[in-house]
Amino acid sequence: MKTLHVLLSVLLLLPLSESNRELFTVNAPRRVHGTVGSAVVLPCYFTFPYASYTTFEITVIWKIGVFYTGTVLFNATNRAKGQGDFENMVQTNINDRYRLVGDPRIGNASVEIKEARLDDTSEYFCRVEVKRPALAPYMKENNLGTILKITGPPVILNMSTRVVNGTQFTLVCHVQGEPSPKIMWIDPQQSRLPMNASDTPVVPGPGQYQVVGELRDPKLGGNYTCVTTNTFGNSTQVIYFASLTEGRSVLKVIIGALVGSLLAIILIIIALTFWRRRKGILVFTSQRERCQPKSTNYCEVKMYHQQATPEETSTVPESPEVNGH
């Protein structure tokens, strides 16, 4: 019995035979579905003849996009921590969105994606590496990846008004969702407008899983409602549109208010001026009154000299001399 036990121990340390190599497999479902905002599990299971051997280290790797050379999203190694105890050492976790939910010691390499988004839709590849002390590691990756499809209700990203040539107006409703949402408009009179007609087209959006609904040349002024739906739900949002007639009326009111304010200011200035003059604050004096004569004929002489020409001043007769007789 002792010899048999030693023989079995030696066999465990030998490289895997061809039959054992075939027992090392990695399997994952071809398709997985999830919804926006929820946690999604990507299952992956592997078989290995010595999976319970405690000195082995088992590394789980998840990639995206391309087999073997795809971008690594998650990388964690399960190793012995103590007697019968193991731990997962995480080396890579892009944006901290992934979590190992399977136990590699029992052949489960499944991971969870937190709060799934529409752009998580892609093909994922599960890779398992088993490292044995003093021996070459074994590794396997599923050739056919797992196609993850994320779906979710429509979300209105924004609404706006677009103006062309200053006179042509278009209401815009920008929506994201999967499957591609339908868009309908409700006018201010609560009438449902035809969907995807010539004046209500739905066109592809600027981003993935996005569409844009347009309402061209709206006739009425008031609140317009964008209603968007798909198989997972619906969403609504309101935008106010001021019609051209309403806009002109508002402009007239603004212009009238400005003109009225200007006239009121002018009247206030005129009234204030008359009030100050009446109170004697403003005094208008003539040139004669502003003269402060040193003699009785001071102002008359000054005014005469200002108005007379040089020739006239030269002919002014001299005062007659007073004789002593």
Q: pLDDT digits over 78-101, tens only?
A: 998 877 789 999 999 999 999 999
Neighbours of 127 (CB within 10 A): 22
Where are the chain's structural domains? 15-144, 153-241, 244-307
With H, G, I as helix, E, B as strand and everything else as coil, classify residue 225.
strand
Task: Work out the percent of the chain whose per-residue pLDDT is above 70.
Answer: 74
Q: What is the pLDDT of residues 165-209, one digit of tens each?
A: 878 999 999 999 999 999 999 999 999 999 999 999 999 999 999
Q: What is the pLDDT of residues 215-225, one digit of tens each?
A: 999 999 999 99
Q: How many residues does the chain have?
A: 325
pLDDT at 320 over 50: no
pLDDT of 191 reads: 97
Average pLDDT of 155-173?
Answer: 93
Look at the block and give the residue holding tokens 């408009």. Answer: 185
pLDDT of 210 reads: 97
Look at the block and give the residue holding tokens 């999203």. Answer: 73
With H, G, I as helix, E, B as strand and everything else as coil, classify residue 304.
helix
pLDDT at 315 over 50: no
Neighbours of 17 (CB within 10 A): 11
Question: 101: which strand partners?
Answer: none
CATH 3.40.630.30, domain 15-144, yes or no: no
CATH superfamily assigned to domain 153-241 = Immunoglobulins (2.60.40.10)
Cis peptide bond prior to 188, omega within 30° of 0: no
* Gap between the Cα atoms of 128 and 142, Å rounded: 9
Question: In the structure, what pLDDT confidence band is assigned to residue 312 with cuts at 50, 70 and 90?
Answer: very low
Q: Same CATH fold, 153-241 and 15-144?
A: yes
pLDDT of 300 reads: 52
